[in-house]
A and B are shown apart, each in its own frame.
Chain A
Amino acid sequence: MKTASSMRSHATLVWLVLVFATSLSWWLVEHHAVPARVATTAALAIAAFKARLVFLHFMELRTAPLVWRALFEAWALLCAGAILAGYWLALP
């Protein structure tokens, strides 16, 4: 059984990962460190990963009935997939 403080540090850890992932995706795109298509693809994939962290951990879908979790996993996949597909389709 989780103690109160371990729950708090779990939330904090998730937050730190989110902050890092956000900064990384911004840096990749804005600082031209890698080719544009790599950076953008990474940023969108990272966004889906971040969304998952939020709905699994912050919204607690990890411990919810499977059908709700499946719905949101599908949502994240749909969004990231569609946006990425469109991005790649639009590339010259």
Chain B
Amino acid sequence: MMTVAREFTYWRFCAWMGPAFMAVFIVFWGIMGHNIPPWNPDLPDSIIAGWFRSQASIIRTGMVVAMTCAVFYAVWGLAIGRVMSRIVPRDSILIDLQVWGAGLTVVPVLVSTSFWLAGAYRPEALPDSILQLLYDWAWLLIDLAYSVTSLQLFALGVACLHDQRSKPLIPKWLAWYGIWVGFMFIAECLMPFFKLGAFARDGILNFWIEFLIWFFWCPTLTLYVLKAINRIEREEVK
């Protein structure tokens, strides 16, 4: 069954949604949402409340764009799934697992950004403790939803390890790296127990390292996905 040439253009567009997601995430969620790094959990609620009240417009703007673009991650996952269909059989459950993993990753992003948005909507009417709760809740969700992304990483990794080509579509080292990242995310389980130190939500492990190792994976994988699409197109469109 041959894929029409136009399809590959769509595939490429979807693959670019990965870096697009990242860029939006960094600017609108990260910088405007004061999430790089997040507020230290040990701070008094007055600090968080003060931030919501004084920065409400910026937070609203940031979250509106972040929420709109959250779906990009799912779109990206579908492009990856298409490349996977040329590595493993087209009805392989691994493709579904990866696509679902990417799709479900949209959920914590969408929902948690809505909490920050809610805090910025009428902060002057809410007590400090409620504003702190909204901020805390958003982070608990984003961090502890890690396993939906780990699912994506594991499924993709396992599939790519099956590539029998002499030059695999996705390099094996990247597959292994993704599997390693998927395991590393498990450390987020410690996050709810600590308000200070390496395992807190702003800690060197549970924020900086966890996010950085994922931030390396996303554009690197996109690069290889785009290269793979080119190769597949050359192979299939004659």
Chains A and B directly touch (beta carbon < 8 Å): no
Binding site for B on A (CB under 8 A): none
